[in-house]
Structure formats: C-alpha cells, structure tokens
A and B are shown apart, each in its own frame.
Chain A
Amino acid sequence: AQSVAQPEDQVNVAEGNPLTVKCTYSVSGNPYLFWYVQYPNRGLQFLLKYITGDNLVKGSYGFEAEFNKSQTSFHLKKPSALVSDSALYFCAVSPRMDSSYKLIFGSGTRLLVRP
C-alpha cells in the first residue's frame, strides 16, 4: 500500500535555530513530492515540490527540502526558524503513474517555534 510517514507528531525548536521536519514515503516509481503548511483556521498552502533534478528544492518563506531517493525521504528544512513558522506541516506524494492526480498525505507534524 502506498503511504507517507511523518514520524514526529510535534517538533519544538527555538527561534533562530535550524529546523527539520521529517518525511518518508512508500510509493512505487518516482512520485512527485510536496510540502504544504496549514495555519490555524486556514486551508493548506503549497510550500514546495520536487519533480526532478537537483535534490535540494527551495520554496516559500525560506524553506527548503532535500530529496533522498535511496532513503525515500523528503525532509523539510529551514536554516533559521521564526516564531511565525509555527504551524501544521504536511508532506504529500503524488504517484507519477496515477492519472487521478491524487495526493497521499502524511499525518502531519506540528512545528512549535519558541521565542
């Protein structure tokens, strides 16, 4: 079965420190990989995606993600966290061979950045 795992329910980091939110996936082929962020009482907002090419992808708000094919991982990173980064983060994959354009989501990781 195709799945996405976000092993940490919550990540705590101090403002100014680097942050990492982990994601691994089990999807056949070479899926497209996404990160979305959800702020309170808001819908999901697109952060970044990996399609092909450079394994380090840069996205919105200073976030980046590193694709590792051998480890089937797509970890979200930011060099210096801000309090305003506190939100719920979802990793998602879309199988390339699936014409339904379906997104398979992880369970989400709550990021808490303390001042």
Chain B
Amino acid sequence: EAQVTQNPRYLITVTGKKLTVTCSQNMNHEYMSWYRQDPGLGLRQIYYSMNVEVTDKGDVPEGYKVSRKEKRNFPLILESPSPNQTSLYFCASSSRGTGREAFFGQGTRLTVV
C-alpha cells in the first residue's frame, strides 16, 4: 500500500530536549515536505526537499532542521523545542512535476511543556 508513515503519532516533551520525528514514504517520490497545522492558520510549510541531499526552507523554518540522506526518509529535527512549537505536524510527498497531488502522513501531535 502506498503510504507516508510518520512516527511517533503523539509526543509530549519538555522544553530544550532534542527530538526527531521520522517520515518515510514507499512511493519513490522525489519531493518531500514538512508542514505544521495550527488552528485558524491552516498548514504552513516548514522545510522541503526536492531530492536526496537537496533541502530548503519553507515559510516557518525557525527552530527546525531536516535532512535527506535517503530518498524515502525525511526526518524533522527539533534541536531545542520550545512551547511555541506545540502543533500538529504533517509530512508529505509527491512525485516530480508541478501539479502533482501530495500524499500526507497521519500526523504527529507534539506538545512541548
């Protein structure tokens, strides 16, 4: 089954404790992206990757890092989480070419206390 898998689904952590949210897709997609979803704001792009070793900032990259060492994986790293990063996070992937629909993971609900 074609899918984007995120882990963990739920995470509660403390301010300053580094964490990683994993994302993996099995569709051989070139393009992957991370979004955060906040009430009333919709989804906003954090980082994206056009292919292996190619990443770039989205609209709200502050406080986040990413890496793309393999085509299928695109982890999101919070080096020093803060309460304002409490949010619902989604990983998405799509194939090469504009106008392609994105496939989304089931989301990771992160709470930073």
Contacts and interface: CB of A to CB of B under 8 A. Distances in A.
Interface of A: 4, 6, 9, 32, 34, 36, 41-46, 49, 51, 90, 92, 94, 96, 98-103, 105-108
| Dominant secondary structure at the A interface | loop
Contacts of B58: 100, 102
Nearest to B94: A101
Nearest to B30: A101
Contact of B90 (A44, A46, A99): A44
Interface string B28-66: 000101010000111111001010000010100000000
B70 interface: no
Contacts of B98: 32, 94, 96, 98-99, 101
A50 to B, nearest CB: 9
A103 B41 contact: no
Nearest to B45: A102
Contact of A90 (B4, B43, B99): B43
**Which residue, of B42, B90, B106, has the highest number of chain A Cβ atoms within 10 A?**
B42
Contact of A107 (B41, B50, B100, B105): B41
A14 B14 CA distance: 44
Nearest to B59: A102
B43 A43 contact: no
B107 interface: yes
Contact of A32 (B45, B90, B99, B105): B99
B19 interface: no
Contact of B43 (A9, A49, A99, A103): A103
